Structure 1
């Protein structure tokens, strides 16, 4: 009997779970390939094969760490450039950078779901290098996503200048850079912002800004509440003087 596409995909991706666990294992595994890091790692692996070198796990760990740290600085840099340099005339570049940031956020979320729910649980569970390293990398991811979301908020303000009472060329003429960072951080960590100048725009029935806010709240919930709680529970006990 001919196997269904679902069964063939599970077999090809080496998924042994059944039912709803197997279904979402398959879905998230397929989505995990929508990743720039996966492409970089594949290129690195092929290069090592070409050079006849062993693809050591330590070198992969190092590459992942460099990738994460580099993207934190990249997100901060792009946020600053968008705020101080870009104008509503830079639409194409704005969309490209915002799309890249969205891909990065998507990549981080899928990776965390994989690590929490599938890759470290079950018959074919993989071992993490350390819980402490995972927490540190995750905190880097949180900072990166905060700045990518700030870029998205800036993009909306530049695209819809008519929702502001003042005319401007650069956002720095109307706001402070910290306004966007604070708004993004508050949405991400406390699920609300009633303090910054950006918060008034979010409540101005601007659909795009509201959607950005919604996704930031959702992402913040997944990353902070679930991922950090999971990794903190894996930390070894701390030695005390009374123990």
Structure 2
């Protein structure tokens, strides 16, 4: 992670020291994270004192019923939400209080995100949608990388198709390929197999395994037991509290 988006403090904090493992901090950590919302005059605690460490190359599945806090946790990990208390660490650096611009830069550089809503541009082809995050970088290899990623998720014959010409499962795989285009160090996925049949789900999860072998940390929140077959570790959120399975 580059220094231009690190917190302004020059000295390492005690939390950063705790995150250091043999000189290398894990790419992703939550330490004592609580997230509270105002639920019409009543405080709703979506996350309660959550501790989670994800090592480089580790695939963690997060299970739990609807309303258990899974999406809130994923959004907190992805710097789309800010905890009420506790700390979010990337590479051992506390990024909890970064301003919006720094958080946006850090997400682009460090994190790939697969949302339940695919957010595809209907007028662009599958290849163009995947390459879209690189458009301002003038990356000459983006198209070739996009085509390779689409081929890996089983869409090599759909490169020029636009979203209206794709099924729900195909759109989901385009979204997954797009999340990988900038070679993130962390991949966060919200129900990545939700619209896929079992065979296609296995193909996508096999791709997650492959990027883990390259050192990428993967966290997937899901109801799908198939994901747990591929994950290195499964945790469960129950009423905002994290439990190891």
What TM-score results when the alignment is normalised by the length of structure 2?
Answer: 0.29
More strand by share: 2
More helix by share: 1
Structure having the higher Rg:
1
Select the structure with the greater relative contact order (CA < 8 A; seq sep ≥ 6): 2
Scaled by the length of structure 1, the TM-score of the pair is 0.29
